Structure 1
Amino acid sequence: MKNGILLIGWLVSVFTCQLVFAQESNQNYKTRFMQAEQMAQSDTENGAQKAIDLWKAMLKDYPNDLAISNNLAATLMKQKKYAEAQHYLESALNADPKISVIMANLNGIYAYQAQLAYQSVFKPSEIKYPTGKWVALAGEAVKTPEKAQMDKVKKDMQRVLNRVENWRMAWSAKDVKAYLSFYTNTYYSDKFSSHKDWVKNRENSLKRPKYIKIKLSNIKIVPLANHTFQVSFKQSYHSNRFKDSVKKYLVWQETGNNWKIIQEKVVYG
């Protein structure tokens, strides 16, 4: 999970690379490839397992074949064997870090893991299981996400990280108005019965200390859904009244032309 989140920022920067595989003229290779593909696309569990065995056998004969590695992983994902699929995708990734389809499949697993972590911290919601993308045998052009869309994801991630820093600065400066502006106008934690009560508490928390120092470290960001990111970090708080260090999760959602905090969770210990 940790490895997956650390890679997210780098993964999105290479999604748009073109995927090109060399043609394989060996008829035996083609026959085995198509047989495995046929098995993998069958609706039976037995067929999927046979496909996995065929892909693995082919991988021994063609250890550097990226199409085999990817399609083996896609078949494993079909059976929800995500950890094993991740192993084969990462092995293929080491051979060529610019294979966009492999990157997309691997990112699907990382996003799934992030959702599981999200479930353990926040309110339960429906898990979106990742699905594998296929690579064509004949080296056909593989459709990749639009570059403009990927660029937006990268920009949004940076905007959210900038918002996190500005949130920290407003809190440290005891700027109540600026600090509250980072939250939606309906936000309140489980300890309060309304947004109004939460606001009153936060106003007192910022006004009472003579000074507040906030430091953030080990910051990680991962997309949870469209227009939604989770940012986690270690937070060190120090004032003349109190001092502590906690793990914090903030879920940011795009609201209008800005990003707002919709959920906040503190984990002690």
Structure 2
Amino acid sequence: MLIAIIKNTARLLLPGLIAFGISIQPLQAEESYINESQQILDVIDRWAEAWINLDAETYISYYSKHYRPDNNTSHRAWVGGRKERFSQQKWVKLGISGIAIAKQDGGLYTATFKQRYKSDSFRDSVRKELVFKREQAQWKIIAEKIIAH
């Protein structure tokens, strides 16, 4: 889908629509969305790499300092739990596919994808959603949830 300016009128061009004889220029908002989506894809890639490498400090750095997995767990307790879990694992394999990124109100982005996880002690395959917010010029995970098993 492309949003474009055609003769000073905003039009939505659907996939497969061909327009002849007119000049189509992407809106700044569309270009911004593409750039920000690529930045978020890069964060997801580095987040997954840190997880695979069992690098707890780097993995945790992709989360907001305000991240809480639920209302009953503080950020500090979550960090401690992640570090402990990482230290107990011998290896991790992680596959991510079918990533879809959507811009939300308030400058937030959601990324949904299929995650296949396997370690020396556990395995699962889920659909996951990560919510990102820009904090000090970096995209950080502010929410994470499994949306389907």
Is the structural similarity TM-score above 0.5? yes
SS where residue 189 of structure 1 aligns?
coil
- Distance in 1, matches of 2:31 and 2:16, equals 25
SS where residue 15 of structure 1 aligns?
strand
Structure 1 unmatched ranges of 5 or more = 1-10, 22-69, 71-88, 99-144
- The aligned amino acid for 1:262 is I
- Distance in 2, matches of 1:238 and 1:229, equals 27
CA 1:154–1:210 in 2, change beyond 3 Å: closer, same or farther? Answer: same
Higher helix share: 1
Is 1:96 paired with 2:17? yes
The count of corresponding residues between Structure 1 and Structure 2 is 145
- Distance in 2, matches of 1:95 and 1:168, equals 34
Deviation at 1:19, TM superposition (A): 4.6
Is 1:261 paired with 2:141? yes
Q: CA RMSD in A?
A: 2.9
SS where residue 67 of structure 2 aligns?
coil
- Correspondence for 2:80 among 194, 200, 218: 200
- Distance in 2, matches of 1:95 and 1:228, equals 29
- Distance in 1, matches of 2:15 and 2:129, equals 31
SS where residue 150 of structure 1 aligns?
helix
SS where residue 161 of structure 1 aligns?
helix
Structure 2 unmatched ranges of 5 or more = 20-24
1:102-121 equivalence runs, <5 A: none
Q: Is the 8 A contact 1:212 1:240 kept in 2?
A: yes
Is 1:186 paired with 2:66? yes
- Distance in 1, matches of 2:136 and 2:33, equals 16
Moved over 3 A (4+): 92-98, 145-149
- Distance in 2, matches of 1:262 and 1:228, equals 9
Percentage of identical aligned residues = 29
- The aligned amino acid for 1:186 is H
TM-score computed with the length of structure 1 as normaliser = 0.48
- Correspondence for 2:44 among 164, 171, 194: 164
TM-score computed with the length of structure 2 as normaliser = 0.83
CA 1:96–1:241 in 2, change beyond 3 Å: closer, same or farther? Answer: closer
